[in-house]
Amino acid sequence: MRRLCFHIDKGSFDKYVNDVVFDRLQELVQDYEKDPSYENWMRILSSTPLGLELFMHCTTNYMQLRNIYHQRKNHKLQEWHMFCAFIKELPFFQEFILGQDYDNKFKYIDKGKLYI
């Protein structure tokens, strides 16, 4: 969250953030740059709208993606629909996420060995 003070521009927020809110947040950041106190920092954090778009890197596996997909595929927020669309494009989506058989390609797995 410290990056908020270093990189704040209109592109960091979604289209629903009001310009007045954005301008006020810039004023708070300028106040923090002049006086980097705890109070000024908390004003920035408390005044940051939910429309701030943060990005991160994430490492996951198919088991976690399966849970995410089934829990969020009918979610109200469009961001989750975009993420579920990304999951659908992954290789082995049908097999690992939906649990569908891949043309009975694999007969059985025994103690880590795959028999075809």
Contacts with 75 (C-beta within 8 Å, 6 or more apart), sequence order: 81
* Domain ranges within the chain, ordered by starting residue: 2-47, 62-115
First to last CA, the chain: 51
Q: What is the pLDDT along the chain (116 residues), one digit of tens a residue?
A: 455 555 677 777 778 888 888 888 889 888 998 998 889 888 888 888 776 766 667 788 989 999 999 999 999 988 899 999 999 999 888 888 887 765 555 554 555 555 54
Distance of alpha carbon 8 from alpha carbon 45, whole angstroms: 13
E strands, 1-116, in order: 108-110, 113-115
Distance of alpha carbon 59 from alpha carbon 44, whole angstroms: 29
